[in-house]
Amino acid sequence: MDPTFSADAQVQRLRQHIAATESQLTALKLQLQQAEQAAEIASYLNGAYQGGLAADWRDEICGALQYDTPRPLPEDTWQDGESGGPTSAKWTTDHVSQQRWPLQSEEYKRYGRQMIMPEIGLHGQLRLRSAKVLVVGVGGLGCPAAAYLAGAGVGTLGLMDGDTVEVSNLHRQIAHSSARVGSMKVDSAVEYLRSLNDCVNYESHPHHLTPEKAISTFEQYDLVLDCTDHPTSRYLISDACVLTGKPLVSASALKTEGQLIVLNNPARPPGDASGGPCYRCIFPKPPPAETVLSCGDGGILGPVVGVMGVLQALEAIKLLTAKLPPTDLDWAMDLAADEVPAPAELVRPTMLMFSAYSTPQFRSVRLRSRRAACAVCSTEATITRQNLTSGSLDYVAFCGVTTPIKALATTAQVTATQFSQLPTDGSNVLVDVRDETQYAICALRGSVNVPWTGNADTWLEEAIRVGAVAELGDGRDRYFVCRLGNDSQLAAKAVMDNVLEGRAKDIKGGFRAWREEVDPSWPDY
Amino acid sequence: MTTDSIPVAVEFTGGLELLFSNQRKHQVTLPARGTEGTPSTVGYLVKWLCENLIRDPRKDMFVLDDSVRPGILVLINDADWELEGEEKYELQANDEIVFVSTLHGG
């Protein structure tokens, strides 16, 4: 036998062995913690029963609490009424009711409408109360997601975002307000959420997620929602979720469509093939940077991203209140018994696609399971806690960056001011290359609209067909403009290269520069 | 319909429809067998779409290095094509193949 091969096989075997043993240890620790909690709760419930807790509920509450860390109660509430020595009537009522019922009277009223459903019930409400959820990105997805999670009574809600509120956010980012434009999004959202539900503990993380801080932050939570808007953060969040063992509810939206995936569910250690797939399993390679369109460039309909954020909150509530907790114990037992769980018990990974203008609007598709060679969740993982935290992984480089277009020499460009001073005697032609929709919002009188097609040949053909550009030249200068000054350079270059050398010029910075330099009333859409 | 052709429903979403005359759903008919007599696969369909259906010259927004570019999910009858054998999946009459560009906005 080839000695290299045999050594490799042994390394492989040892890795698998270590992964399995680590899984088992984690599982045993979890079991111990739960057994300790169960013992504590049992004695507490015994007291509660003496106080009048319905006997039918005991098993349910006990069952629910076994998987939960109960909110630490003030020490004296654990004592019995006689010896506690209440000093006021108010205290006595709270004290007694707290001892008899696992929730405060306010909580029964506030959450009653969801608690009376069998899907939630008392056990579900207790789980929500002991849950810690992190929402990364407090924008179009994060605002509605956080609002519904706060409303539902999640115990701790963490909010992370490094941006400030802008007016252009308000049509969809419902936690912010006109009065809070310029505030940190996290602060604005906490203010909104507190007025919605003050029983929740809000944790502010007013900065963008970095690889260095990701692990230590995620470790403080049970579940993470990816409400960000770029592949860079999507890969980072997914990696950190795998390495900290947290399930991830990921959503995205653009224009009239949205996508939702629950990842790393169940959240099992890297190398355990029965865990749910991560973002890298589904998308091992990032898309080319130039194919990634932001909401600012592509547009977004408010209710579309709202629907996706609300669905994230829904999936989070389902995960947190599931009869078997997300970090279910069965896998520990399965490992101990050396059994493979039956396929029927596995969570089938799916992606939900929403398309506002299609019929049907929703469609659920089946996704693959964990990838055997995944860079983060497989036995061959190369991404570890250590190299994530040390900052040695460059997510920006991995996803690629688009550099601002610089297709022309400065001599082929004029400033907006220079253009505004040109004679309006018909000696020049202004070609506006924005799409028809933007052209219809605002346009300069006398301009010709030839939307940039993304390709020099097809665009030039169209420009000549509509007479915006003369194939043989007609003695007039052509000026090109767009929203920000990128596409117009490409159009000007197409004309210079093929038709009118020297007689095509680009207006530098497009209509943004026009508004800043020439016409402050120009619509800032 | 003859047995030497296969009707397939093709759909583009997530912005990919812009490359295909801004039309999401297309009903196409492919030869049942390739030039070597082998059954037509999804890999063949991708090539066929590049030669026959794509209207936009930016083919690299759809195919890179002879395969569907990263960031596009291919679904065969509502399942990730990785569950069905990827390019090698042999097309059946009336299969529904969806190409989804992943979204990143939020």
Q: For residue A295, indicate whether it is catalytic.
A: yes
Compare A466 and A46 and report the one with higher pLDDT.
A466
pLDDT, tens only, A93-142: 455 555 689 999 999 999 999 999 999 999 999 999 999 999 999 999 99
The whole-angstrom separation of Cα A396 and Cα A375 is 17
Residue A62 falls in the annotated catalytic set: no
Please identify among residues 425-464 of chain A the ones whose CB lies closer than 8 Å to any CB of chain B.
Answer: 453-455, 457-458
Residue A131 identity (one-letter amino acid): A
Which of A96-110, A153-167, A505-519 comes out lowest in average pLDDT?
Answer: A96-110
| Residue-level pLDDT at A85 | 38
Nearest CA in chain A to B23: A358
Which has more confidence, A203 or A4?
A: A203
Q: Which residues of B touch A229 (CB under 8 A)?
A: 104-106
Q: Do B70 and A287 touch (CB under 8 A)?
A: yes
- Write phi, then psi, for A353 (nearest 5 degrees): -110, 135
Beta strands in chain B (DSSP E): 5-13, 25-31, 63-64, 67-68, 72-76, 79-80, 96-101
Q: What is the mean pLDDT of chain A?
A: 86
Calculate what percentage of chain B has a pLDDT beyond 70: 97
Contacts of residue B80 in chain A, CB cutoff 8 Å? 282, 365-368
Stretch (H or E) spanning A188: helix A185-196
Chain B residue whose CA is closest to A304: B106
**Mean pLDDT to the nearest integer, A80-89:** 38
Domain ranges of chain B: 5-101
DSSP state of A184: B
Cβ of A298 and B69 within 8 Å?
no
The CB density around residue A204, as the number of other CB atoms within 10 Å, is 15
Residue in chain B nearest A282 by alpha carbon: B73
A367 touches chain B (CB under 8 A): yes
**CATH no., domain B5-101:** 3.10.20.30
Cα angle at A132 between A131 and A138, to 5 degrees?
130
| Nearest to A159, CA basis, from A136, A193, A183 | A136
CA A457 vs CA A405, A415, A449, A498, B26: distances in Å: 18, 27, 17, 9, 26
Annotated binding site of A for Zn(2+): 278, 281, 374, 377
Contact A259 B14 (CB under 8 A): yes
* pLDDT of A329 strictly over 70: no
Which residues lie closer than 8 Å to A469 by C-beta, 6 or more apart? A431, A460, A463, A478, A495, A499, A500
Q: How far is B28 from chain A (nearest CA, A)?
A: 20
Residues of chain B found within 8 Å of residue A358, distances taken between Cβ atoms: 13, 24
Contacts of B89 in chain A (CB under 8 A): none
Q: What is the DSSP string of A113-176?
A: HHHTSTTTHHHHHHHHHH-EEEEE--STTHHHHHHHHHHHT-SEEEEE---B--GGGTTT-TT-
Which pair of structure tokens corresponds to residue A357? Answer: 């203008």
Computed on alpha carbons and rounded to an integer, the radius of gyration of chain A in Å comes to 29
Beta partners for residue A448, in sequence order = A431
Contacts made by residues A36-45, CB under 8 angstroms, sequence distance 24+: A37/A65, A37/A66, A37/A68, A37/A69, A37/A70, A38/A62, A38/A65, A38/A66, A41/A65, A41/A66, A41/A70, A44/A78
Whole-model pTM: value is 0.82
Going along chain A from its start, the domains and CATH numbers come out as: 121-399 (3.40.50.720), 410-517 (3.40.250.10)
> What chain A residue is nearest to B85 in terms of C-alpha separation?
A368
Q: Is A454 in Cβ contact with B78 (below 8 Å)?
A: no
Q: Catalytic pick from A143, A227, A241, A295?
A: A295
Q: In angstroms, rounded to a whole number, what is the distance separating the alpha carbons of residues A374 and A394? A: 18
* Region A372-391 average pLDDT: 95
Q: What ipTM was estimated for this complex? A: 0.94
- pLDDT for residue B77 is more than 70: yes
Q: Which residues of B touch A292 (CB under 8 A)?
A: 71, 104
